[in-house]
Structure 1
């Protein structure tokens, strides 16, 4: 357990050092054998698409552009790894860019994808305020685009149904609260990420609907802006604990692992770990390694996995559908599973997890 806490605190210290300056990206995963990949960042420091050009067997390999959300954590790394594998298996060329959770960078990357003459773009843009602009760049160039996890104008969507995930997480928490707190807790804290738009906030806000419909009682719901940053989440949640010294049962819902990691570290360093129970979204090394290290004896009890490592394969199947038929569904939801100590070995066996391929 001490090792797990040390891992968390070290990770949060790294986030703190980078929060006020330029964000450094982590080492990239190795390319698949035989895969052609272009990294444009290194070079440059049921809805129907209107352009329905269909590739045939005699055409050049499909050139897919991937504008990733960022590579600061396991989520972005898993997205990139999954696309490398899926494109490699199909003999496609992958043109890669890192949006680095920055709207201006997303715009720059969109322009670069146009210059690279990609056939199709998959875009993970965290800044909803530039979504229409990014989509407009692709529309003007006649390049079809698929938005992943966060809406991008009126582009077809793949990924998390935020309302569904939030409700599912709330149901999971409700069962836990009934079994461990006799159906009543002092506070419910929602760690938000406002820059990503109202739809994404449903990943935590819809959890309250599930608690209410399952008869859970709670004193107050408090929203804390996480800014998708572990260090900021830790500080702001620590401030919450300081302001509520008598709170003994605090349920926390987070949009992703970054904010959950910060909340967990804040509770541990404040000596209040067991006053808190955390229910997060996404599943990667930040959740899995501490869970194994503690043998399940930690207050971060659950995360809803959307199996990010499979995003590449699922999106490439949609791209294939587009080039075969000229259309793809308006919205395609990824699958969910609540990961706890009881089932973690089934989905993420120790020593054989997706991120082991690139660490």
Structure 2
């Protein structure tokens, strides 16, 4: 009997603790000092008649894809009469944090964040949340921010299946090495892009043994990818069949330059991600090494980002995930897209 009483007493204490915890959380949410995982804290709408000010911190201003993202946001902000404060995160988390702090001092109403380092995402979001500034994160999620960008796994899978079909057609499904030009510091969501490419490839030609896979930290740049691939090629015997999956088109073009310089372009097949103009121009030349690239249409990002930002500032509901459209561009349809933004 004593044992039953003790069990009932413990259960009552646990139930009371759960109720108090729930009351505390609801109080935080009601007061604006806490947030649910899918609903970022939003700041009050700007005063009537005051011009809305939005901060946009770009991934980097030195690569075409984020350059096009920036241009599209600038164009859309101008169309809506928004004051846009811009910054360059320079592929660096610490720089992104400084930029976020500057946005706070300049009194922005909302921040659009495009930054590479997952480790700084929590810090940046904590600062902005305490300041009551809502956030939209581009391509790389940040905790508590609305996400806009790639449907990473699907975009990767599209490229992977195209690569698998190319290997099946050109090499009868034989593959000696798979190069994966990754970006581990960006975290698990962009990593899904890489997983999608491998899964798509393996759905066509079968599993690639791990001892034939080279995982390389591309830093998301042409130069680093080229350097890494050059180093690995020196270790490999001539004549091996090589396939390359990439974080973006810059790493794909870096891989392309490396195999061309090494005289191994004929034994290589490469897919990209983003569908940027430099990649499409190479593809349009009927380059036998490039299979194609999944397009993200960065020149259209602003058309979705700015309206979503305005809805948030008006207190209107916005889905926690907003995806861009994807199309896989290869030699058969590249002519439809090569001049799409002209």
TM-score band w.r.t. shorter chain: 0.7 to 0.9
Task: Indicate the residue corresponding to 1:148 in structure 2.
Answer: 138
Q: Which has the larger radius of gyration?
A: 2
Asked if residue 255 in structure 1 is aligned to residue 247 in structure 2, the reply is: yes
Question: RMSD of the TM alignment (CA)?
Answer: 1.9
Task: Indicate the residue corresponding to 1:284 in structure 2.
Answer: 276
Asked if residue 73 in structure 1 is aligned to residue 55 in structure 2, the reply is: no
- Which residue among 325, 339, 345 is the counterpart of 2:329? 339
Q: Structure 2: which 5+ runs fail to align?
A: 1-36
Task: Indicate the residue corresponding to 2:237 in structure 1.
Answer: 245
Task: Indicate the residue corresponding to 1:328 in structure 2.
Answer: 318
Higher relative contact order (CA 8 A, sep 6+): 1
Query: SS of 1:184's equivalent?
Result: coil
Asked if residue 165 in structure 1 is aligned to residue 160 in structure 2, the reply is: no
Deviation at 1:217, TM superposition (A): 5.6
- Which residue among 39, 63, 66 is the counterpart of 1:48? 39
Asked if residue 186 in structure 1 is aligned to residue 176 in structure 2, the reply is: yes
Query: SS of 1:166's equivalent?
Result: helix
Query: SS of 1:214's equivalent?
Result: helix
Deviation at 1:341, TM superposition (A): 2.2
Count how many residue pairs are aligned between Structure 1 and Structure 2.
304
Deviation at 1:181, TM superposition (A): 2.2
After TM superposition, the score normalised by the length of structure 1 is 0.80
Task: Indicate the residue corresponding to 2:87 in structure 1.
Answer: 97
Query: SS of 2:41's equivalent?
Result: coil
- Which residue among 264, 273, 282 is the counterpart of 2:256? 264
Deviation at 1:182, TM superposition (A): 1.9
After TM superposition, the score normalised by the length of structure 2 is 0.83
Deviations 1:44-96 (A, max 9, x none): xx93233353458x432321110100011101210110011111111111111
In 2, the alpha carbon distance for the partners of 1:345 and 1:307 equals 15
Q: Structure 1: which 5+ runs fail to align?
A: 1-45
Deviation at 1:320, TM superposition (A): 2.5
In 2, the alpha carbon distance for the partners of 1:236 and 1:297 equals 22
Tell me, yes or no, if the aligned pair for 2:40 and 2:144 is still in contact at 8 Å: no
Task: Indicate the residue corresponding to 2:7 in structure 1.
Answer: none
Tell me, yes or no, if the aligned pair for 1:62 and 1:119 is still in contact at 8 Å: yes
Tell me, yes or no, if the aligned pair for 1:184 and 1:216 is still in contact at 8 Å: no
Deviations 1:138-164 (A, max 9, x none): 111101001110112231211012222
In 2, the alpha carbon distance for the partners of 1:163 and 1:63 equals 33
